[in-house]
Amino acid sequence: MKSDTATRENPFFQPWRGPFGLPPFERIAAEHFVPAYDRAIAEHNAEIAAIAEDASPATFDNTIGALERAGEAMNRVGGVFWNLIGTDSTPQLQQIERELAPKLAAHYSAIGLNEALFRRVETVWRERDRLPLTSEQRRVLELAYDGFVRSGVLLDGAQKTRWAEIAERLASLGAQFAQNVLADEAEWLMELDEADLGGLPQSLRDAAARTAADRGRPGKWAITLARSSVEPFLAQSARRDLREKAFNAWIGRGETGGATDNRAIIAEIIRLRDESARMLGFPTYAHYKLDDQMAKTPERVRALIDSVWTPAKTAAAKERDDLQRIATEDGGNFAIAAHDWRYYTEKARKALHDLDEADIRPYFVLDSVIGAAFDVARRLFGVTFHERKDLALYHREARAFDVRDEAGAHVALFIGDYFARTTKRGGAWMSAFRSQRAMDGEDVRPIVVNVLNFARGAEGRPTLIGLDDARTLFHEFGHALHGMLSKVTYPSISGTGVVRDFVEFPSQLYEHWLLQPEVLSSFARHADTGAPMPDDLVRRIRASEKFNIGFGTVEFCASALVDLDLHLLNPGPDLDVLAFERAELQRIGMPREIAMRHRTPHFSHIFSGSSYAAGYYSYLWSAVLDTDGFAAFEEAGDIFDPAVAKRLRDHVYSAGGREAPEDAYRHFRGRDPDAKALLRARGFA
């Protein structure tokens, strides 16, 4: 930390007067975060004490409303810090993260365990039927009360102490897990010579050359473990030995046997989660975690996964036989292995649908796909996106857009951060520097960010992305719209502040527009010629939508089942997570030619934090909603039908968590979801 002068100049201690309330990134340095958090924690503690010790009778406003107002300084610092941890995670920031994670966990545990504070919340809860509460206020009150109970406030003194210890330790373990995965991804690089490029299309060669140059190896080509680098390589490279090398590194993240090995961390996380759940009277952590979700119970989750597991395996077996036949005809004297699947899938796609990823990529220019995502939002919800190149952001590669409604009024600031770099965590996600709220006459508009990891094109050339990358962009933009269009009063239910197995509904639903002919015709133009994608190619892409669906469903469901069953354990001290993973995959009959989408040692969804723990199934749960939900537009005969779009905006994208997700879906769709829609959509009905 710097001197008193540095403290006085700390940007977090000063008003932010820049456009849109954007953080002054150009003035924020790593050494500002610890003192900023120290002051924010002190302010938050004072706010909490004032609520808990208020001598006046507890009311909604002086208790629940006050809790909603409290912690503004924490949100301000955290909005910047945690976004930078994901997007520009330097060694200095990682060290600060390791220091702050247990401190912040202790802070929030103390609030959740504050009995005096809870008694005031409980008083309002008991009086709720006699109070003139809006439906939104009742929902916020319900969530606040349940949140305290689930945070251990009803435990006795010794149990509260242990609960807080567990929370601190889990925070430290989660931070270390994520940093280990990032380190493994950043360290690995497969350098290629020209002789190693067989099968790679020019766009991938250009991206690999750019990667090598960026890593200080000009004149070479290089593949990294960023999904947009390694997956296209696995699908296109004619070198089976290099495919195997890249694949093994990709699925081996987090189990290198060195300082970044995550196996012991996972075992401890599982034990501590189980202990905390049983302290609250739940038989396992999975029961605890699912209790307040749409699914409610592990049994319902397993029933959902089981409903697609068997037909998915059947479909995958047929796909495997097709790939094996192609490999044999191609002169391959070997049984198809996991590192072969993507390569021969591309050959099968060509044979069955006359489709080649190399033929599709030139029509998926990154800037055009971004523009398509924006245009769908305009046609559905009336919002437009205006790039602001004058704003100072946290990284030179990030882009900012002023989002406006039909009247030209500001709705949100959207930031897109699209390219992979060694300081950025892998994957893709949506986050916010500031969430929407409308308390006390304010109308605070959100600052939302999408983070992706695309491989940049060659210097002077547009960046081309694959079909799966384009889906990911639309998916994350669906999350972003959920945050940007939010129109609620209270910050705790703003935007994506909904239960985990509902939050993927708006994002997965948005994916449906990507391959609609009306959308493809507007953006899919050849990078070199500008010619629109031929109608015949559009038809073939649409016809192939269920192609390889068995593989995709199997790799996902395997991860979801391992996640669920790990969290159904009451583990002893000798838990071997990889032995458990192997036994679980054997039990469910996992095809040997397919790997889990996320193997346990790098399963960041469930181990870098608890958000998706025992909840990875939620993508499948939301798939029921998104397939049935998009059918509402199809039934209306217009994929941009204004009436359906208005219901979708009013009850989903703008509604945050102001009502139970079951009610939100019914208000949008007019009925409960059709569970068979998922099976029909995947061809399993």
Distance of CA 387 to the CA centre of its chain: 24
> Scanning the structure block, which residue is given the tokens 């499948």?
620
Residue pLDDT, tens place only, 579-595:
999 999 999 999 999 99
Q: Model's pTM, two decimal places?
A: 0.95
Domains 263-355+548-616 and 363-543+620-681 share a fold: yes
214, 184 contact by CB (below 8 A): no
> Scanning the structure block, which residue is given the tokens 């500008």?
530
- The confidence score (pLDDT) of residue 621 equals 95
Q: List Cα–Cα distances, 102 to 20, 93, 108, 135, 172, in angstroms.
A: 32, 15, 10, 36, 6
Class of domain 263-355+548-616: mainly alpha
Q: What is the DSSP letter of 139?
A: H
d(CA 248, CA 246) in angstroms, rounded, equals: 6
Could you please state the CATH topology (level 3) that the domain comprising 363-543+620-681 is classified under.
Answer: Neurolysin; domain 3 (1.10.1370)
Residue pLDDT, tens place only, 115-142:
999 999 999 999 999 999 999 999 999 9
- The confidence score (pLDDT) of residue 7 equals 55
Point out the residues of the chain with pLDDT beneath 50. Answer: 1-5
For this structure, is 387 an active site residue? Answer: no
Nearest to 242 by CA among 342, 356, 339: 339
Residues 6+ apart with CB under 8 A from 313: 550, 554, 589, 591
- The confidence score (pLDDT) of residue 465 equals 95
Task: Please count the helices (runs of H) and the strands (runs of E) in the chain.
Answer: 28, 7
- Identify the helix (H) or strand (E) that includes residue 448: strand 447-454
Residues 6+ apart with CB under 8 A from 333: none
- The confidence score (pLDDT) of residue 8 equals 61
Nearest to 201 by CA among 321, 362, 68, 76: 362
Q: List Cα–Cα distances, 548 to 317, 360, 458, 555, in angstroms.
A: 10, 17, 30, 11
Extended beta strands in 181-329, E state: 190-192, 221-223
Domain ranges of the chain: 4-183, 188-251, 263-355+548-616, 363-543+620-681
- Catalytic residue (choose from 185, 346, 357, 476): 476
- The confidence score (pLDDT) of residue 189 equals 97
Query: Residues in the chain, how many?
Result: 685
Q: What is the DSSP letter of 2?
A: -
- The confidence score (pLDDT) of residue 357 equals 85
Burial of 65 (0-12, 13-18, 19+ CB in 10 A): buried
- The confidence score (pLDDT) of residue 676 equals 87
At the second CATH level, the architecture of 4-183 is Orthogonal Bundle (1.10)
